[in-house]
Amino acid sequence: MSGSPEKLKTLPPENPVLVRLENVTKSFGSFQALDQVSLEILKGDIVGLLGPNGAGKTTAMRILSGYFPPTSGKVWIAGQDMSGQPEKVKKHVGYLPETVHLYGDMSVMEFLDFAVKVKGVPAAERSKRIEEILFQCGIWEVRRRLIGQLSKGYKQRVGFAQALAGDPEVLVLDEPTTGLDPEQIHKIRMLIRELGRTRTVLISTHILPEVSMVCDRVLIMNEGRVLADGSVEELAAGLVERQEVLLTTGDSTDGEILKMLERVTGIDQIHIQSTKAGKTTLKLVVSAGAEIGPVLTRLFVEKNIPLYELRISRLSLEEIFLRLVVQENPPAVAL
């Protein structure tokens, strides 16, 4: 979905595009931090934004949250052009910055009271709203404590609460779990998934397993450009030239099973990996595009041949990331 605007999808109204960037560029002096970024995020998506230091993640998130405008290009949030009425459009977005600046000498309640006012929540709805977000972010018990005295994990929760103050449709979270202990990380991830049920979430992170755990879709950025966009499965499929399948079946030494597999379209090579206790494990090399799992399962069921295990290897997100980002910039070699 990244790339030229012509490629951007037209969607039915029940699945609207909540965030849309079209050819967005951001320059700081002569340095271009974002270079012609085009993308769409749909209602209900939880999207992980990955990229090495300096890729442009925070810059993109700041533009989305209205922190600063792009140098060129267009941004729409919930169908509204950000350049037209930025203040109005900003209300649709809740932003958790990389470093949250909280007012340490305010209590949690005082701070959230301030945050809901800033977001323009009508006076009559404010206390109900604050109560909701205190519960949602698990900080009801600490509501009277001074923010400066809270632990880092709780401060981060107050940051989340502040991002939710205006009941936004879009949540932009810049590295929300960095620096937290494993238990807090787990809780924050659960909170993100919970929030993602009713909102669109864009989350940047350096923790790759976090993306697989929390996100439906991944955007990989490098040097201000979007290099890849899709689910982990889609990205892996686009990068592999061939798949490897490990299959454990009954005794196949009579050659019947091998002959059957040789006839399957997409299987390029068959190797006998091991034969033990009446079971044979085969390694198959399969062409990249073939949907081999269902084909093999159906075949074994139809022929009534035991199939003990079927494992299709695929690239991990880490391997995808390294292939896309590192191979694009191979380290300099001293000659």
Ligand X SMILES: Nc1ncnc2c1ncn2[C@@H]1O[C@H](COP(=O)(O)OP(=O)(O)OP(=O)(O)O)[C@@H](O)[C@H]1O
Tell me which residues touch ligand X (CB under 6 A).
28, 31, 33, 51, 53-59
CB 235 → ligand X: shortest distance, Å? 19
CB 221 → ligand X: shortest distance, Å? 7
Contact indicator for 39, 47 with CB cutoff of 8 Å? no
CB 33 → ligand X: shortest distance, Å? 3
**Partner from Mg ion, ligand X, none contacting 54, C-beta within 5 to 8 A by type:** ligand X
CA 243, distance to chain mean position in Å, is 24
What is d(CA 65, CA 80) in angstroms, rounded to the nearest whole number? 13
| Distances from the Cα of 272 to the Cα of 33, 246, 268, 301, 308, angstroms | 51, 10, 14, 21, 15
Contacting Mg ion (CB under 5 A), which of 2, 38, 58, 65?
58
Element (H, E) at 308: strand 307-313
CB 213 → ligand X: shortest distance, Å? 19
100: Cβ–Cβ under 8 A, 6 or more apart, which residues?
155, 156, 158, 159, 162
User: By Cβ distance, which residue is nearest to Mg ion?
Assistant: 58
Task: List 3's β-bridge partners, or say none.
Answer: none
- Which of 10, 53 has the CB closer to ligand X? 53
Q: Which stretch binds Mg ion (CB under 5 A): 9-17, 58-66, 227-235, 251-259?
A: 58-66
- Which of 36, 252 has the CB closer to ligand X? 36
Tokens of 153: 């994990």
CB 121 → ligand X: shortest distance, Å? 30
Task: List 11's β-bridge partners, or say none.
Answer: none
What is d(CA 306, CA 251) in angstroms, rounded to the nearest whole number? 9
Secondary structure (3-state) at 189: helix
- Which of 147, 163 has the CB closer to ligand X? 163
Going by C-alpha positions, the residue among 16, 26, 88 that lies closest to residue 58 is 26
Residue the block writes with tokens 């401060």: 155
**Partner from Mg ion, ligand X, none contacting 201, C-beta within 5 to 8 A by type:** none
- Which of 220, 286 has the CB closer to ligand X? 220
- Which of 50, 165 has the CB closer to Mg ion? 50
- Which of 58, 280 has the CB closer to Mg ion? 58
Report the interface residues with Mg ion, using CB under 5 A.
57-58
